[in-house]
Amino acid sequence: MTNKILVVEDDNFLINAYRLKFENSNFEVRIAEDGEKAMESLKNFTPDIILLDLIMPVMDGFAVLSALKADPKYKLIPVIVTSNLSQNEDIAKAVDMGADGYIIKSDTTIKAIVDKILSLLNKQV
Amino acid sequence: MTTYKDTRINLLKIFSGVGLFALLILGSVNLFYGSVLIGYVQLGAVIIGVTNLVFLLITDNYTLASYIFLAVMFVLFHFVLYIGGISNSAPVWLFLFLISSHYLLTKIKGILVNGLFVFSIIVLYVLQYLGLLYSSQELVMLRQLILSLIVGSIFLGSLIVTSSNSLEETFIKNTELDELKLKLKKEIEEREAEDDANKKRNASFRSALLNLLDDIKEEKNAAEKALQEATKFKLAVEYANDQVTITDPDGIILYANMATEKITGFKIGEMIGKKAGTKDLWGGLMPKIKYEDFWKTIKTEKKDYVGEFENHKKSGEHYYSEIHVSPILNSSGKVVYFVAIERDITKIIELDRMKTDFISLASHQLRTPLSAMKWILEILGGGDLGTLNDKQKEAIENVNLSNERMIGLVNSLLNISRIESGKIVVEPEDVKVDEFVISTIKSLDNRFKLKNQKITTTCQEALPTVNFDPKLIREVLVNLLTNAIKYTPEGGKIEVMVTTEKNNLLVGIADNGYGVPENEKVRIFERFYRASNIIKRETDGTGLGLYLCKTVVESSGGKIWFESTIDKGSTFWFTLPLSSAKSNTEVVS
Q: pLDDT tens digit string along B218-269?
A: 888 888 888 888 888 888 888 888 989 999 998 899 999 998 888 889 888 8
Instruction: Please say whether the dihedral angle defined by the alpha carbons of residues B403, B409, B412 and B416, taken in this order, is positive or negative.
Output: negative
DSSP states of B24-82? HHHHHHHHHHS-HHHHHHHHHHHHHHHHHHHHHHHH--HHHHHHHHHHHHHHHHHHHHH
Interface touch A83/B418, C-beta < 8 Å: no
Residue to test with chain B: of A25, A106, A111, most B Cβ within 10 A = A106
Interface contact B359-A87, CB threshold 8 A = yes
Beta strands in B385-481 (DSSP E): 424-425, 429-432, 454-459, 465-468
DSSP-based three-state secondary structure for B342: strand
Instruction: List residues of chain A with CB under 8 Å from any CB of chain B.
Output: 11, 13-14, 16-17, 20-21, 24, 55, 83-90, 104-107, 109-111
> Looking at the predicted structure, is the pLDDT value of residue A122 above 80?
yes
- Taking CA–CA distances from A114, the nearest residue in chain B reads B375
Low pLDDT (below 50) residues in chain B: 163-166, 581-589
The DSSP secondary-structure symbol of A98 reads T
Distance from B575 to chain A by nearest Cα, in Å? 25
Size of interface A-B (CB pairs under 8 A): 70
Taking an 8 Å cut-off on Cβ atoms, the answer to whether A13 and B372 are in contact is: yes
Task: Find chain B residues with C-beta within 8 A of A85's C-beta.
Answer: 360, 363-364
pLDDT of residue B507: 94
Rounded to the nearest angstrom, the minimum Cα separation between A18 and chain B is 9
For residue B411, the chain A residues in CB contact (below 8 A) are 86, 106-107
Q: Chain A residues with CB inside 8 Å of B410's CB?
A: 106
Q: For residue range B309-343, what is the model confidence (pLDDT) as tens digits?
A: 889 888 989 889 899 999 999 888 899 999 999 99
Q: What is the Cα–Cα distance from A10 to A38, expressed in whole angstroms?
A: 11
Instruction: Tell me whether B362 touches chain A (CB under 8 Å).
Output: no
- Interface mutation target, options B358, B361, B368, B370, chain A, most CBs of A under 10 Å: B368
Question: Are B375 and A110 inside 8 Å of each other by CB?
Answer: yes
Rounded Cα distance between B580 and B126, Å, is 145
Residue A87 pLDDT > 70: yes
Say how far apart CA B333 and CA A115 lie, in whole Å.
67
Among A27, A34, A28, smallest CA distance to A12 is for: A34
Which residue type sits at B21? Answer: F
Tell me how close the Cα of A92 comes to any Cα of chain B, in angstroms: 11
For residue B572, the model assigns a pLDDT of 96
Distance CA B316, CA B329 (A): 34
Q: Residue B218, Cβ neighbours under 10 Å: how many?
A: 10
Residue B376 contacts A where some CB pair is shorter than 8 Å: yes
B378 and A110 within 8 Å at the Cβ level: the answer is yes
Shortest CA gap B372–chain A (Å) = 5
Looking at per-residue confidence, does A105 or B171 come out higher?
A105
Residue in A13, A21, A84 nearest the CB of B364: A84
* Bridge partners, residue B305, by sequence: B325
Looking at the complex, report in whole angstroms how far the Cα of residue B290 sits from the nearest Cα belonging to chain A: 21
Which of B499, B419, B489 is CA-nearest to residue B450?
Answer: B489
Nearest by CB: A20 against B367, B368, B384? B384
Say if residues A30 and A6 touch (Cβ distance below 8 Å).
yes
Contacts of B360 in chain A (CB under 8 A): 85, 87, 90
Q: How confident is the model at residue A117 (pLDDT cuts 50, 70, 90)?
A: very high
CB-CB neighbors (< 8 A) of A13 in chain B: 369, 372, 375-376
Instruction: Please state, in angstroms and as integers, the Cα–Cα distance from residue B136 to each residue in A111, B65, B79, B117, B125, following that order.
Output: 184, 32, 11, 20, 11
Beta strands in B279-413 (DSSP E): 305-312, 318-329, 335-344
Task: Look at residue B355 in the predicted model and tell me its pLDDT.
Answer: 77
| Contact between chains at A111 and B382 (C-beta distance less than 8 A) | yes
Q: Enumerate the residues of chain B whose CB falls inside 8 A of the CB of residue A107.
A: 407, 411
Burial class (CB in 10 A: 0-12, 13-18, 19+), B362: middle
pLDDT of residue A85: 85
| A9 and A15 Cβ atoms separated by less than 8 Å | yes
Assess B474–A contact: CB distance below 8 Å, yes or no: no
The pLDDT assigned to B146 comes to: 65
